[in-house]
A = this chain, B = another copy of it.
């Protein structure tokens, strides 16, 4: 069965930011009562995506540097000449070509099967934003 899709509301504070949502997802899975199934995380944005990676403070800073340098924001992109939404965010969209909006994680015996080092990250690429959403859809058998 498919549970109703839930929305995690997030506020972001920096141009590029990595937000850990692991505990929110883990709690939702436990509350759902599903024994066997999966969770799909889905970002409904075009400049924010979903990654699974390690949460470590120094690594977080390496990640921010890496993403800032991979596609520098101050490049002369066509999308930024007449921004329809007032944001100079071509670099955010281009980074997004190399990321994914959806991740699916298995659930067994009522437990999210994340590895020991894995955290679920919402990756903001065009912040800050007052409100971002991350959709979470649980499916499986109770």
Contact = CB atoms under 8 A, between A and B. Distances in A.
Interface string A43-84: 111110001111010110111001100010000011101101
6 closest Cβ contacts across the A-B interface?
A44-B115, A58-B78, A59-B79, A46-B54, A52-B101, A106-B137
Interface in A13-44: 36-38, 40, 42-44
Interface string A102-136: 11111010000111111000010000000001010
Contacts of A47: 54
Contacts of A1: 141
Copies per complex of this chain = 3
A60 to B, nearest CB: 9
Interface residues on A, range: 35 or more
A74 B52 CA distance: 23
A137 to B, nearest CB: 4
A8 interface: no
A2 B37 contact: yes
Contacts of A104: 40, 42, 102, 104
A46 B38 CA distance: 19
Nearest to A37: B2
A52 B46 contact: yes
Contacts of A66: 71, 94, 97
Given A56-B84, A58-B81, A2 B115 contact: no
